[in-house]
Amino acid sequence: MLNLPDRARKSGTPEANLADASHLPAGPVLRPDFERLLAPRTVAIIGASNNPDHLAGLPVKFLKKAGFEGKVWPVNPNRETVQGLKSYASIADLPSPPDAAIIVVPAPLVKQATRECAERGVKFAMIFSAGFSESGDGDEQSELVEIARQSGMRLLGPNCLGCFNSESRFYGTFAIALEAGFHTPGNVAMVSQSGAYGEQTCYLARERGIGIRYFVSTGNEADIEIGEIIDWLAGRDEIDVILAYLEGVRDSASLVRGLAHAQAKGKKVIFVKVGRSATGAAAAASHTAALAGDDVVWDAVLRKYNVYRARSTEEQVDVAYAAARAIVPAGRKLGILSVSGGFGIQLCDAAEEMGLEVPPLPDDTRARLTALLPYGSMQNPVDASGKATGKPHLIGESLRVLAHDCTYDAVVGFIGTLPLVPAIGKPLEEWLTNAREDFTGRLVA
């Protein structure tokens, strides 16, 4: 049991239960199966627009543009075709029950569309429409869940941005950032209660060269919750890193089960949990109707399940960039190489602040580096000095020496603005690219 404040232990709120797994059912766990949600063979878009730039037209455009190989069935009783695809007057007219349906009609029409999906045997329905519990209409949202449960259909949303699977080129979303380009399948997944936050983070990750394979926006979480998605992702061999954005928890058991599964599978989970302040918690309640909870409890729970809590989007992307390489240093000993003595000192200060050690160079390593950099300072940090700028290969070779020294668990090199000089930058880039194979067992930044 975690050492938590009494106010959290006695509150009876979902976040208080996060700290204690005793409420979880014993015995075999039935894992959620979202295969047909994230890799559907047939997709219906209810309320699809012929305008490719309209919110209701974006999913059709993205699915076509990305080259989705499954069947896309627009449902629009007012048109015979939608963006060049045959349109159907109703869900009942579809050739077969679709694996997934996207509901993008006005809020007053969502209940009827949900009922028709359930009656048609749809497996998963994504509701993009807003105007439910986030705006105070919890009863209407509860009715959607009851309709779905009668047929076994699962609901994503409402008030969500949908999901995508970059490997199968399924983009069941209206994420406008996709206008800048689609994602490369990598070993990273993103699940977010906020669609806009998830979309922006995926965009930043793509700009950094991080391959996002799966993205899921859970929205109001009337049915499918973030913990279930984490649980499913934890069981995917192709995923090493899970990014998550959370405003609050509804089902603590689901989230604990997902985090525990990810921990057991060795997945790296990087959380942004907002609502630390009173105003932030109030904003979360009005956004996705989430209860932000006690922040002290959250810190303790995330530590328990080895989850990294990022304090900003930039930090979340930075940590994901490092974690996606699947290299975890075995210890805290850091080797530093810098072309600037000042930055070397700054890195030492940062290392101490972060609990890292900067031990002296072993004698044999010092001798090898001195042979390469006779004009440098052979301490740790190693100061290559400005004389190395005319021989960029020496910087690379020096990094290799540090990386191969078993004293250091990780190595960081600072080369400043040197790559701006083509005669230096190009050969240095080529050397580092070719040398990456030598660094596979050690983190070199």
pLDDT for res 113: 98
In the beta sheet, which residues pair with residue 46? 75, 103
Q: What is the pLDDT of residues 137-173, one digit of tens each?
A: 788 999 999 999 999 999 999 999 999 999 999 999 9
pLDDT for res 415: 85
Query: What is d(CA 335, CA 360) in angstroms, rounded to the nearest whole number?
Result: 9
**In degrees to the nearest 10, what's the CA dihedral of 318, 320, 323, 326?**
-130
Share of the chain above pLDDT 90, in %: 67
Strands 212-217 and 188-192: parallel
Q: Count CA atoms closer than 13 A to 165's CA, side-chain side.
A: 18
> What SS3 state is found at 97?
coil
Band the pLDDT of 291: cuts 50, 70, 90. very low
Query: What is d(CA 154, CA 149) in angstroms, rounded to the nearest whole number?
Result: 7
Q: Which amino acid is at 71?
A: K
pLDDT for res 13: 53
Residues 54-82, mean pLDDT to the nearest whole number: 97
Query: What is d(CA 139, CA 125) in angstroms, rounded to the nearest whole number?
Result: 19
Residue labelled with tokens 């059912």:
25
In the beta sheet, which residues pair with residue 185? none
Q: Highest mean pLDDT range out of 185-194, 279-288, 405-414?
A: 185-194
| DSSP, res 333 | B
Asked if 194 and 240 count as a contact pair (C-beta separation under 8 A), the reply is no
> What SS3 state is found at 57?
coil
pLDDT for res 52: 97
Query: What is d(CA 120, CA 247) in angstroms, rounded to the nearest whole number?
Result: 34
* pLDDT above 80 (res 14): no
Residues 373-377, mean pLDDT to the nearest whole number: 80
Asked if 340 and 347 count as a contact pair (C-beta separation under 8 A), the reply is no
Backbone angles phi, psi at 230, to 5 degrees: -60, -40
Q: What is the pLDDT of residues 185-213, one digit of tens each?
A: 999 999 999 999 999 999 999 999 999 99
**pTM reported for the whole predicted model:** 0.84
Residues 86-114, mean pLDDT to the nearest whole number: 97
Query: What is d(CA 224, CA 145) in angstroms, rounded to the nearest whole number?
Result: 10
pLDDT for res 296: 87
Lowest mean pLDDT among 315-329, 370-384, 385-399: 385-399
Asked if 17 and 252 count as a contact pair (C-beta separation under 8 A), the reply is yes
Mean pLDDT in the chain?
88
Share of the chain above pLDDT 70, in %: 88
* pLDDT above 50 (res 302): yes
Q: What is the pLDDT of residues 342-360, one digit of tens each?
A: 899 999 999 999 999 999 9
Query: What is d(CA 391, CA 128) in angstroms, rounded to the nearest whole number?
Result: 57
Q: Which amino acid is at 80?
A: E
Asked if 182 and 68 count as a contact pair (C-beta separation under 8 A), the reply is no
Provide the 10 A C-beta neighbour count for residue 375.
Answer: 11
Which residue stretches of 39-189 are H helix? 58-66, 107-120, 138-151
Asked if 166 and 202 count as a contact pair (C-beta separation under 8 A), the reply is no
Q: Which amino acid is at 235?
A: G
Asked if 227 and 255 count as a contact pair (C-beta separation under 8 A), the reply is yes
Q: How many residues does the chain have?
A: 445
